[in-house]
Structure 1
Amino acid sequence: MARSGVRGEGPAAGDTMFPRPRGGDGADDGAGRGKSRPHGDRRRRRRRALRWSATVLAVVILGTAGAGYLYYQHLNANLKKDELNLGDAKDRARKPKANAAGQTPLNILLIGSDARDSEENQKLGGAKDTFNTAPRADVQMLLHLSADRTNMSVVSMPRDTLVDIPRCTDPGTGKVYGALTSTITNDSLGRGGPGCTVATWEKLTNIHIDHFMMIDFAGVVSMADAIGGVPVCVDADIYSKSSDGHGSGLKLKKGTTYVKGVQALEWLRTRYGFEDNTDIARAKAQHQYMNAMVRQLRENATLGNPNRLRNLAETATSALTVDDGLGSVAKLYDLSKELKKVPTKRITMTTMPWQYSATNSGRVVPKPGDADKLFRLVREDIALDGKDKKESGATAESTDPAAADDRIAVQVQNGTRSSTRSAATGRAHTIAELLAGRGFTEAKADSSAVPGEEKTVIRYPSADLEGDAQRVAKALGIPESSVERSADTDGVTLVVGADWRSGTKYTAAKDDDTTPESAQAINGSDEKQCMHVNPGYTW
C-alpha cells in the first residue's frame, strides 16, 4: 500500500481527516442551587451553554439580541458550501424508505482534502511542487446514523482503492469530466469538487448520501487546537521519519499522549511507522483518534466555558466545506442533536473490506463478497455492532384485490450489478419472458441502466397497485417483505437483484447480518486501543 511520488507522506504527500464533532451534555457547571430568580436564570443560561457544548459546531449567542443575530450571521458566512452530487442521475442511489415509525437513516460523507491551495496548507502538507494542483480526497469516511438514532456506523475507504468514477460536471465552470474506470478513489475530488467524491461513493455502494463535510490540513490543525487535545496511544516510542524522507514527522513516547494542533495532523497522516506502513493501518489510527475525540468532547467539563465554546464555533465554521443542506449554523446544530442521541458504545468504526489489485501493484480493490455485504448492511440500516432489535411479523396482505394476471403491467429492470461485479446480461428480458409465460402478458423488459440492488425487489407507487405487486411476487416466489411502496416508480416494477443473476427460479437467500471480520470493526467505547509501532520507526 505504500505509495511513492509527490503525493506520498510527509514532505511528499498529505492526508487529513475530518475530526467528527460530536459530544454529550458536558459536565456540571459547578453552580450551587441559588434561591433567587436571577440566580435561577443564570443557572438556566449555563445549562443552555452546556447543551451547546455537545458539539464543536455549537453556537453561543452572546450580548444583546441584535449582536447575537449579527454573530449568528457571521458564523454562517464562515461556512464554505459546494454542491452535494455532481454525477448523472442514473448513477445516484435511491433514497432509503422510512421505517415503521416514519424515520429514515442519515448518511454523511466525511472528506479530508490534501489541497495545497494556501500558504498554510502548503507548509503543513509539504511537496512544494504540488501547490495549487488538483486536490485529492485522501481520507473518505461514510458516517451512517440509523433511522431510530440508536446506533452509528463509520466506513473508511483506503485512499488507493481502485473504483469507477462516474461522469461529473463542475458546478462552477460547467466543465464535464468523463467517466473513468479502475482509478484511485482520491482522484474524484479534483474532478469538480466534493460532489464528485459523493457521486463515486453512491455509484460504488448504492448507498444514498444525504450530506458531506470536508476539511483541509489547516482546518484539522485549528480544530485540534480548539478541542484542546485528544488522547492517543502507541505501544512503543515512534518517530515517523525515514532516511529517504518518508513519514509524517510524528514523534511520541510509548503510552498515551494528548495530541493537538500540528501533532494531531501528524497522527492522522501517519502511515510510515504504524503496523505494516500501509494506508490500512493509518485508517485504524484515524478511527482511534475519532473514538477518543468523541469521548473527550462528551466528558470534558471545560467545554462549558462560553469563551471556549465561541472559539470552537468560530473554528468549526471556518474549517468546514459542506453541502447546501448543512449550509447554516442552525442546520449543523440540528445535526449535532441527532448525532448525540447515539451512545458511545453504539458507535462502530470499520474499514471497507479490501484485497490487493491483481493488475495494479500497491493498489487495492473492494473485497468480493465482504465489501458488498458491508455496504448492504449500511444500506439496509442494520447496526454493525450486531445489537439491532429485529422487527417481527409478516407483511400484511393488501386489502386492494389484484387485477387479473394478464391485466397487470410489469416493468422488469436488471439490477444485478454490484460493487464487485458487472450486471448479468439479459436478466430483465429473461424474467419478463418468464412472467409472460405465466400469464402476465403485459410484462415488459426495461433496457435502461439502473442502480444495482443486492436483493430482488418489487416496487409500486400507490395503494391501488399494492395488490398487483404482491400478486407478481407470489407468482415468482419472491417474499412479500421484498414488495415495497416507492414514489420513484410509476407502475409495478420488478428489479432483478444480485441475488438472482441466473436461472428462472428465485430462491431467497438466508440473510447473514453479521459484520465481516475483514471490516476490522472497533467499538467507540473501547479505550484500550493502542497502535502497534513498526520496529523500523522506533527511537
Structure 2
Amino acid sequence: MTQNAAPETLRDEERGPGPDEGPADGDGGPAGGDDGPPGGDDGPRPRRARRLLQWSAAVLALLLIGAAGAGYLYYRQLNGNIKKEALNLGDNKVAEPTPNAAGQTPLNILLIGSDARDSEENQQLGGARETFGSTPLADVQMLVHLSADRTNMSVISMPRDTLVEIPKCTDPDDGTVYPASRGRAMTNQSLGHGGPGCTVATWQELTGIHIDHFVMVDFAGVVAMADAVGGVPVCVDANIHSRDGQGHGSGLKLEKGTHPVKGEQALQWLRTRYGFEDGSDLARARAQHMYMNSMVRQLRENATLSNPGKLRGLAEKATEALTVDPGLDTVKKLYDLSNELRKVEPERITMTTMPNRYVGARVEPTEDAEKLFRLVREDIALDGRDAAPPKAVEKPPADPSAADADIAVQVVNGTRTDALAPARGRAGTVSGLLKEKGFTGATADTGGALSEKRTSVRYPSADLEGDARRVAGALGIPADQVKRSTEVSGVTLVVGADWREGTRYEAPERDDTTPESAKALNGADDGACMHVDPAFTW
C-alpha cells in the first residue's frame, strides 16, 4: 500500500541539518555526433524503432534516477529543451586517465540534484515560497565511474554538508570571478559559485579524479522521470511518516514492507532524511542508492515504457529539467552514453557513500575517503571482482623537475596517531636524509606535528608536480602517494605514521579493498530495506 502526502515545505538555512530537500541526480556521457532524424507525425512506428525508444528511455532512467522520458531520439525539438553550461569553471584541470592496454579509458560523470525554486512547478514541489528564485544548492552529488573495460560501475555519494574547499571559479560567459571559499564551506554551496561547473571543479580539487561530464536535474524533472517507469519498488522495515511536530520532513508516508513509488512520492523518498535511520544525510544517501539499484533491476525485468503519447509528454518535462555540459547537449549524445552504461550488469554496480566523520553538525572526508578516491582514479572495481588490479601507467608531469639542489622541500612530522604521540625529531631526520641525497633545499618544519596515516609528498600546482615526484622517487615513496593539494604552498613531504623510525621508507602493502566505512551496496541486492526511526512511525 502506498500513500501520497504533501511534498516538503521547509528549507533550512545554508542546507545544514533541517528539512529534507534536494532531488535525485542525473549523469551524462560521451559526445555522440549529430542528432537522429527529426520527429515526424504521431502515427505508429516500426517495431524496431519502438524498441529503440523504449530502451533509450529505460537507460536514461538509470542515468537520471528515472529520466526515462528523455529517450526519444527522433524528436529533434527535445534538444532545444536541454540547458547547457560549462563543464569546469576552476583552474585545476586534472589530467585524463591513461588508456588501458586496449586503448579504453574510464568515464566519470557527476550527477547533481539541484534544489532550485526557479519555476512555479519547482517551487510547489520544493515548498518554501520565500526561497523562490534564490541561489540553488547542489543538495545531491554523486560521482558515477564507468570502468575502462565497461564491466563495472562505481558510484560515490557526497553528503551535502561535507566541508570542502571550494576553489576559485570563473564564469566563461561574463567573466565573473567567484573567489575561493575562505576556509572550508559546505559542498552544496559550490553550485552558487557560478553553476555546476564549479561543483565539478570542487570535486576534482578534492578527489584528483578527472570528470568528463555532469548532468543536473531539478525537482520537476525527478517527478516526471519517476512517472515514466511506472513505479520503483522500495522497502521500509516499519510504517513511516516523515513529518515531525515542527513540520520537518519530506511528507513520505508508507506502510511497512516493499512498495512501488513514483511521481511526487518518489521525490519524497529521494529527499527523506527525517525518519530514516539516524535522520542524517548519510541515511538519505543510502535510500537513494536503494532507489537507483531497484530502478536498474526494474527496467531490466519489465517493459513498462510502451505508451508513445505518455512518453512524449514525459520527454518534454524531463529534458526541460536537465542542465548538462556541452558534451551532452543532445539526446543523441545521451543515447551514446546509454549504450556504454547498458553493458554493466546490476551485480557489477557498487553504490557507496564517501567515508566521513562529524565536525560539529557537518562532516569531513576521512583517510578512507582518499582510499576510495584512489581506487576510482586507478579504475579498480569497488566490488572486488577485478581479475587483477590494472597496472597504473603514470603520465609524465607537465613540467620536468628542477635539479635536486634547486628543489625546495619542507618536511613535516605527521607521525602522531590516536594512540601514539608524534615520533620526536622525524622532520629533522628526514630532511637531513634528503640533504644527503642532494636536496640541499630541504628544511624541517618545527611547528606542531600532524596526524597522517601514510607518508606523502604534496605540491600546490602543476608546475611543481615534477619536483614532487622527484623527491618521492629519491625516497622510494610510491607515485600514488604524491598528491596535489591546496593546503601547501610548495613541495611538502609529510612523514606519516607508517615511517616513525629509520632512514629507509618501506611502502605498506597495497590494500585495494573498498573501505567498510563506504557502506557499499551491490546493485543486485534486492533485499535491502531502510530502517525507520521509531519516532517517525505510525
Shorter-chain TM-score bucket reads 0.7 to 0.9
The letter of the residue matching 2:350 is: T
Task: Quote the offset at 1:471 in angstroms.
Answer: 11
Residues 333-354 of structure 1: per-residue CA shift (max 9 Å, x gap): 1111111111100101111111
The letter of the residue matching 1:377 is: L
**Aligned position for 2:59:** 55
**Aligned position for 1:490:** none
Contact 1:85 1:199 in 2 (8 A): yes
The letter of the residue matching 1:523 is: N
- 1:301 aligns to what SS in structure 2? coil
Greater Cα offset, 155-164 or 175-184: 175-184
The letter of the residue matching 2:83 is: K
Task: Quote the offset at 1:413 in angstroms.
Answer: 8.6
Residues 459-503 of structure 1: per-residue CA shift (max 9 Å, x gap): xxxxxxxxxxx9999865467x8799xxxxxxxxxx888787989
1:461-476 matched pairs, under 5 angstroms? 476=475
Equivalent-residue separation in structure 2 for 1:373 and 1:55 (angstroms): 30
Greater Cα offset, 162-171 or 250-259: 162-171
**Aligned position for 1:260:** 262
- 1:364 aligns to what SS in structure 2? strand
- Classify 1:515/1:318 alpha carbon distance in 2 versus 1 (closer, same or farther; 3 Å): same
**Aligned position for 2:83:** 80
**Aligned position for 1:251:** 253
**Aligned position for 2:384:** 386
Task: Quote the offset at 1:107 in angstroms.
Answer: 0.9
The letter of the residue matching 1:86 is: L
Task: Quote the offset at 1:437 in angstroms.
Answer: 5.5
Equivalent-residue separation in structure 2 for 1:505 and 1:412 (angstroms): 21
- 2:59 aligns to what SS in structure 1? coil
Contact 2:380 2:389 in 1 (8 A): no
- Classify 1:482/1:299 alpha carbon distance in 2 versus 1 (closer, same or farther; 3 Å): same
The letter of the residue matching 2:246 is: D
Task: Quote the offset at 1:115 in angstroms.
Answer: 1.0
> TM-score of the superposition, structure 1-length normalised?
0.74
Residues 190-210 of structure 1: per-residue CA shift (max 9 Å, x gap): 111011111111111111111
**Aligned position for 2:272:** 270
- Classify 1:432/1:342 alpha carbon distance in 2 versus 1 (closer, same or farther; 3 Å): farther
- 2:116 aligns to what SS in structure 1? coil
- Classify 1:391/1:335 alpha carbon distance in 2 versus 1 (closer, same or farther; 3 Å): same
**Aligned position for 2:519:** 520
Contact 1:240 1:249 in 2 (8 A): yes
Q: Which runs of 5+ in 2 are unaligned?
A: 1-9, 30-44, 61-67, 394-401, 415-425, 444-453, 459-468, 483-490
Equivalent-residue separation in structure 2 for 1:44 and 1:4 (angstroms): 46
**Aligned position for 2:21:** 14
Task: Quote the offset at 1:271 in angstroms.
Answer: 0.7
Residues 229-257 of structure 1: per-residue CA shift (max 9 Å, x gap): 11111111111111111111111111111
The letter of the residue matching 2:297 is: R
Equivalent-residue separation in structure 1 for 2:17 and 2:251 (angstroms): 7
Contact 1:9 1:15 in 2 (8 A): no
**Which of residues 370, 373, 385 in structure 2 aligns to 1:372?**
370
**Aligned position for 2:533:** 534
- Classify 1:256/1:497 alpha carbon distance in 2 versus 1 (closer, same or farther; 3 Å): farther
Residues 348-369 of structure 1: per-residue CA shift (max 9 Å, x gap): 1111111111xxx3111112x2
Equivalent-residue separation in structure 2 for 1:536 and 1:137 (angstroms): 29
Task: Quote the offset at 1:60 in angstroms.
Answer: 3.9
Contact 1:137 1:188 in 2 (8 A): yes
Equivalent-residue separation in structure 1 for 2:309 and 2:266 (angstroms): 23
- Classify 1:44/1:167 alpha carbon distance in 2 versus 1 (closer, same or farther; 3 Å): closer
The letter of the residue matching 1:130 is: T
- Classify 1:45/1:209 alpha carbon distance in 2 versus 1 (closer, same or farther; 3 Å): closer
Contact 1:13 1:125 in 2 (8 A): no
The letter of the residue matching 1:294 is: V
The letter of the residue matching 2:59 is: T
Residues 118-166 of structure 1: per-residue CA shift (max 9 Å, x gap): 1111111112221111111111111111111111111111111111111
- 1:232 aligns to what SS in structure 2? strand
The letter of the residue matching 2:213 is: H
Contact 1:6 1:13 in 2 (8 A): no
**Aligned position for 2:157:** 156
- Classify 1:130/1:439 alpha carbon distance in 2 versus 1 (closer, same or farther; 3 Å): closer
- 1:241 aligns to what SS in structure 2? coil
1:112-511 matched pairs, under 5 angstroms? 112-180=113-181, 181-307=183-309, 309-357=311-359, 361-367=360-366, 369-390=367-388, 438=437, 476-477=475-476, 505-511=504-510
Greater Cα offset, 283-292 or 52-61: 52-61
Q: Let me know the Cα RMSD of the aligned residues.
A: 4.3
- 2:139 aligns to what SS in structure 1? strand
Equivalent-residue separation in structure 2 for 1:53 and 1:317 (angstroms): 12
The letter of the residue matching 1:135 is: P
Task: Quote the offset at 1:454 in angstroms.
Answer: 9.1
Task: Quote the offset at 1:174 in angstroms.
Answer: 2.5
Contact 2:123 2:132 in 1 (8 A): yes
- 2:184 aligns to what SS in structure 1? strand
Q: Which runs of 5+ in 1 are unaligned?
A: 23-40, 62-67, 396-405, 419-426, 446-452, 458-469, 485-494
The letter of the residue matching 2:151 is: T
Equivalent-residue separation in structure 2 for 1:121 and 1:141 (angstroms): 21
- 1:132 aligns to what SS in structure 2? coil
Count of aligned pairs between the two proteins: 464
Contact 1:188 1:200 in 2 (8 A): yes
Contact 1:11 1:126 in 2 (8 A): no
Contact 1:10 1:246 in 2 (8 A): no
The letter of the residue matching 2:272 is: T
- Classify 1:498/1:223 alpha carbon distance in 2 versus 1 (closer, same or farther; 3 Å): farther
Contact 1:78 1:317 in 2 (8 A): yes
The letter of the residue matching 1:17 is: A
- Classify 1:82/1:499 alpha carbon distance in 2 versus 1 (closer, same or farther; 3 Å): farther
Equivalent-residue separation in structure 1 for 2:221 and 2:145 (angstroms): 23
Equivalent-residue separation in structure 1 for 2:364 and 2:403 (angstroms): 46
Equivalent-residue separation in structure 2 for 1:436 and 1:10 (angstroms): 50
Equivalent-residue separation in structure 1 for 2:22 and 2:117 (angstroms): 11
